[in-house]
């Protein structure tokens, strides 16, 4: 008797998911991933600002950058699990020692990027700058307390 195609697909996906849980990411991999996500957020913010300020004419891509920013801010706190507080990272120990405060600021960044996304989706161009400023200020507030200063 042949196994139906859908059943084989379900078995395959289940096996992949179980394999993923069996091989937890190494802290070094989490740190590198976190750094890449944060760099992408900065790049999207810079692109959004350039479009909103009229420095470049890529208005058709504004929504894409905003959606990407929104997606990567959904779980900022998840990028800083216990055990990823070492090595070549700009994260200060305060991320873990003052974690409840860090969680609040991460949630604020998520909310601010969602507000920007809603404003852009609605085509409310009069408020793009204000919502972008809110996101940037949220990032700066968190970086001030939880990130090493850049030289």
State pTM to two decimals.
0.81
What crossing angle do the helices spanning 128-146 and 99-121 adopt, rounded to 10°? 160
Nearest CA to 91 among 102, 100, 101? Answer: 102
What DSSP character marks residue 147? Answer: B
Domains and CATH numbers, the chain: 26-146 (1.20.120.10)
What is the residue-level pLDDT of the chain in tens, covering all 151 positions? 455 565 454 545 544 444 444 346 788 999 999 999 999 999 999 999 999 999 999 999 999 999 999 999 999 999 999 999 998 899 999 999 999 999 999 999 999 999 999 999 999 999 999 999 999 999 999 999 999 987 6
What tokens does 100 get?
A: 């409840």
Reported as a single tens digit per residue, the pLDDT across 57-84 is 999 999 999 999 999 999 999 999 999 9
Q: What is the pLDDT of residue 107?
A: 98
Query: Residue ranges of the alpha helices (H) in 23-93?
Result: 27-52, 62-72
Residue 136: Cβ-neighbour burial (10 angstroms; 0-12, 13-18, 19+): middle
């Amino acid at each position: 008797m042949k196994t139906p195609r859908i059943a084989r697909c379900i078995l395959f996906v289940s096996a992949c998911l179980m394999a993923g849980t069996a091989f937890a990411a190494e802290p070094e991999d989490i740190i590198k991933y976190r750094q890449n996500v944060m760099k992408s957020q900065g790049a999207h913010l810079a692109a959004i600002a350039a479009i909103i300020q009229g420095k470049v004419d890529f208005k058709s891509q504004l929504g894409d950058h905003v959606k990407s920013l929104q997606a990567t801010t959904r779980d900022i706190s998840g990028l800083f699990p216990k055990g990823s507080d070492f090595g070549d990272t700009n994260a200060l120990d305060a991320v873990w020692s003052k974690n409840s405060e860090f969680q609040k600021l991460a949630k604020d960044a998520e909310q601010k990027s969602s507000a920007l996304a809603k404003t852009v989706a609605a085509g409310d161009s009069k408020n793009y700058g204000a919502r972008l400023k809110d996101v940037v200020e949220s990032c700066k507030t968190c970086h001030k307390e939880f990130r090493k200063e850049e030289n």
